[in-house]
Structure 1
Amino acid sequence: MDKIFYPAIFHEAEEGGFWISFPDFPECFSEGDDMSHAYRMAVEALGLAITSREQEKEKIPVPTDFHQLSVSEKEKIVIVEFDMLAYLKRTKSRAVKKTLSIPEWLNEAACNAGLNFSQVLQEALIVKLNAK
């Protein structure tokens, strides 16, 4: 999943700021003190909703065409950009231990070159997955 764009409805809150809902994710709400803060919170809430659905093997909905939405005078339709890779880098960067097997000659050459196996593996996986 690359970047995906979902419409959100930013509702003006009586006490100031906004509360946010997503037509495609009825379980997803957030709030923010101003438009900038609300947008950042909307991205985080959307990330939680999408990753939760993925973990539960539930369908990720196709974004609703924002032209099909109607809002009141105190509501705004805002398109929220979600980048799954960036979200996972921010929220799931804890190191995990991996055991692997390589040929003895390759191990000796890498050790003699002073290579950090974890760093080399990370770099190779990023290149392989095109996940810069």
Structure 2
Amino acid sequence: MNYIYPAIFYPEANGKYSVIFPDLNDLATYGDSLADAFAMAQEACAQYLFTSLRDGDALPAPTAINAVKSDDPTALINLICVNLDNYARAYDDRAVKKTLTIPAWLNTACDNCGINYSKVLKDALIAKLQQVQM
């Protein structure tokens, strides 16, 4: 799912940029260039939102971009979009236990061959998802 929050980019004297998210408890990051600052802003926003949702916290409503103000006339206000589905796939690799039922003869045959059920199921589910998403 995509989430969009406004961010304020402040140019620094050394060519770097500081970034503040006013809606996310003044979440801050920076980048060595404007492009780097945008990438860092996406990463910081995704991590903040992912952690909040994982912990059961409610996400704040994003402020409309035209309502975000800065006292610095050189600041750039822009929207940052993050896809939390992609972020979760990349960073939430914890194992989840699932129970399944198979015929006894299949269990015996797999045990005799040393087949790793978890790996086979994981590989099959990934292949199925790739088919569905095409």
Q: TM-score of the superposition, structure 1-length normalised?
A: 0.76
Is the Cα contact below 8 Å between 2:7 and 2:77 reproduced in 1? yes
Counterpart selection for 2:124 from 114, 120, 125:
120
Report the counterpart of residue 68 of structure 2 in structure 1: 69
Query: How much has 1:105 moved relative to structure 2?
Result: 7.4
Distance verdict in 2 for CA 1:97–1:30, change over 3 Å? same
Give 5+ residue unaligned stretches, structure 2.
Answer: none
Q: TM-score of the superposition, structure 2-length normalised?
A: 0.75
SS in 2 for 1:7: strand
**C-alpha distance in 1 between matches for 2:77 and 2:105:** 56
SS in 2 for 1:25: coil
Query: How many aligned residue pairs are there?
Result: 125
Report the counterpart of residue 92 of structure 1 in structure 2: 92
CA RMSD of aligned residues (A): 3.0
Residue 35 in 1 paired to residue 45 in 2?
A: no
Query: How much has 1:75 moved relative to structure 2?
Result: 0.3
Query: How much has 1:31 moved relative to structure 2?
Result: 0.2
Runs of 4+, deviation exceeding 6 Å: none
Q: Choose 1 or 2 for highest CA Rg.
A: 2
Task: Using the aligned pairs only, state the percent identity.
Answer: 20
SS in 1 for 2:49: helix
Report the counterpart of residue 103 of structure 2 in structure 1: 104
Q: Specify the code of the residue in structure 2 equivalent to 1:93.
A: D
